[in-house]
Structures are given as structure tokens and as C-alpha cells.
Amino acid sequence: MAEDEQISALGERTRFIAGKEIIFDKEGFFISAGDWSEEAAEILSREMGIEALNEKQWRVIRFLRDFYLNNGKAPLSSELKAGLGWSVMELESMFPGGIRQGARLLAGLPNPKSCN
């Protein structure tokens, strides 16, 4: 557990990242997409082992966020592929944890398990 982290009885983790209190679920996903910031994404990506997010990774993150904010849900893999023009295999390889545990998490989207 990080020094700046508190854990609730539900397993939610509260952390201070980039000067802001952010609540994550027990799998590390943002509880509120509104808590996301580029600075938080950069900090979390370094914790995942990504030294610096490259432009392709940022395109994926921004596409995920825009789609989610405009549609109220994350894009399906086919929508992600069509929107960005890259294969699902290429998209999966861009992030540790693939699209679900990597890109979606860094984009501040809620846990796919809690999405309808």
C-alpha cells in the first residue's frame, strides 16, 4: 500500500495523485471518470512500467475517453479498431494489461465489470 493510500471496507482505494483525491475500485479502476487527468494517467502509467506514454498510446487513451464521455459506455473492440485504424492485437500490445487493464484504466474509465 502506498503512503498516500487508504483502503475502505469495500476494497476501494483512495489515493492522492497530482494533488487530487481519487477513489479507485479494488481492481484499480477509477470510480468516477471525472477524477481523471492527463497527469494522473502519466503517474499511473509509470507505475505500470511505461516510462512515458507515446503519441499512439495517447491517441488510444483520448479515443477511449471521448467515446465514453459521448456515449456513456466504453467502445467495443470493433469500435476501437474502426475508430483508430489499428488491429485489436496491436492495440492490446500497446499497454501492459492490454486494452482492459491497461488502456481503459489509464483513460479513467470505470471497471468493465460494472459497465452495462
Q: Which residues are designated catalytic?
A: 115
Nearest-angstrom CA–CA distance, 49 and 65: 22
Non-local (6+) Cβ contacts of 25 within 8 A are: 11, 12, 13, 31, 110, 111, 114
How many of the other CB atoms lie within 10 Å of CB of 100?
Answer: 18
Chain centroid to CA 116: 17
Q: How many residues does the chain have?
A: 116
**SS3 for 13?**
strand
